[in-house]
Amino acid sequence: MTVPFATSARSSVGLEWELMLADNESGDLVPRAPELVPDLEERTALERYTVTGELLTNTVEVTSGVGDTVAAAVDDIADAIAEIRTLTAPRGIELLCAGSHPFAQWYDQSVTDKTRYHRLIERTQWWGRNMMIWGIHIHVGVDDVTKVFPIINALAVYLPHLQALSASSPFWAGDRTGYASNRALVFQQLPTAGLPWPLETWSEFENYLDDMVRTGVMADATEVRWDIRPAPRWGTIEVRACDGMSTLPELAAVAALVQVLVEHLSREIDEGRELPTIPPWFVRENKWRAARYGLDARVIVDREGTQRPVVDHVRETIERLGSVAEELHCARELAGIETILSQGASYARQLLVADAADGDLREVVQHLIREFRAGPTLRDHLSSPAV
């Protein structure tokens, strides 16, 4: 099977953000996307961004246009959210985002009426119906198809860093799970989801797809649901490992980190250097540690098995790649990583709210609604000095 890899601008950025729709009083999810999306699609047909439905009718997804910078892509997302609010506010619907809803139940949710979604549920049954998960997808343009899998394999070293920074699903269907990112472990139950296979060349990927299509596992490359995957249609590498970010500045910060990492690795290839990787068994262990412990995780950072606190290794990475961020004009967005490290990721903030409310998860939802609506704002973040 021949799979063409589209031409894209090197290190260009595209963002996808899955958002929950909730009743403004109860905080419970509401299946209102089917009444919103057709109107939004018509009203935004000429915009750079898009607003679409997702697997469940309680979700809308906003997608940026292709941005030369993270800031440009984030501006698209902000414009999309503003447009959505023109329809949701009069209907008493609030927007929020996290990797999971703190108390909603899977059996109360309805599936969007599309053939592909019905086919997925028919195949995956209970696990498919339990996919009450929300995430972000970050696309970064790659200028040469031969770089795609070397970069993906090297990015796998940083998967726990991205997962810990974005972790926002400590609750599941009313239970306190003990995990920072329960979503990470739920999502990998789907066929073709989870960690990428350690392929080395594009031809190996084409052979993989040929095997999967020929045996009926999937219809095409869009059904590859790896934590990091190639997106041949767009000419990008797509990072899908992250929980849904709870605020816009956090989305911008993690997107900047991904953009900087991809550009750095691309430059290393240009210089003829071999990209550092770790064995797949270390990659798998790191994923579990980040899901369990979030920013308190110790992760394995090299082939020798060296272990470091993920917070320390994130800080070292940002310092080492600061000049790349400056060149990509995303240093201010990247500075938001330090805010997450010092003030806590969303999972930690949710747990604090729950403890203060004697375990009342309705208060956690209201906290997420407030964060998504009011703070921290991107403008506040960008007014602070760059690091």
Q: Which domains does the chain have, with CATH numbers?
A: 13-382 (3.30.590.20)
Q: Which residues pair with 60 in a beta bridge?
A: 19, 53
For 143-175, b/e burial (b = at least 16 CB within 10 A) is: eebebbbbbbbbbbbbbbbbbbbbbbbbbbbee
Q: Which residues pair with 69 in a beta bridge?
A: none
pLDDT category at 384 given cuts 50, 70, 90 is: very low
Query: For position 374, what pLDDT does the model report?
Result: 79
Sign of the CA dihedral with 185 first, then 165, 139, and 159 last? negative
Taking only the tens place, the pLDDT of each residue in 251-282 is 999 999 999 999 999 999 999 999 999 999 99
Strands 136-141 vs 236-239: parallel, antiparallel or unpaired: antiparallel
Cis peptide before 376 (omega within 30 of 0): yes
At CA 108, angle to CA 247 and CA 248, rounded to 5? 5
Q: Which residues pair with 242 in a beta bridge?
A: none
Asked whether residue 387 carries a pLDDT value surpassing 90, the answer given is no
Per-chain mean pLDDT for the chain = 95
Query: For position 296, what pLDDT does the model report?
Result: 98
Taking only the tens place, the pLDDT of each residue in 318-368 is 999 999 999 999 999 999 999 999 999 999 999 999 999 999 999 999 999
Query: For position 170, what pLDDT does the model report?
Result: 98
Q: How far apart are CA 178 and CA 285, in angstroms?
A: 17
pTM of the model as a whole: 0.95
Asked whether residue 111 carries a pLDDT value surpassing 60, the answer given is yes
Taking only the tens place, the pLDDT of each residue in 13-49 is 999 999 999 999 999 999 999 999 999 999 999 999 9
At CA 64, angle to CA 90 and CA 185, rounded to 5? 90
Q: Which amino acid is at 384?
A: S
Taking only the tens place, the pLDDT of each residue in 195-231 is 999 999 999 999 999 999 999 999 999 999 999 999 9
- Which of 161 and 219 is assigned the larger pLDDT? 161
Cβ atoms 51, 80 nearer than 8 A: yes
Name residue, tokens 């375990």.
359
Radius of gyration of the chain (CA): 20
Query: For position 335, what pLDDT does the model report?
Result: 97
- C-alpha distances (whole Å) from 6 to each of 10, 43, 168, 231 are 12, 29, 33, 9
Q: How far apart are CA 5 and CA 7, in angstroms?
A: 7
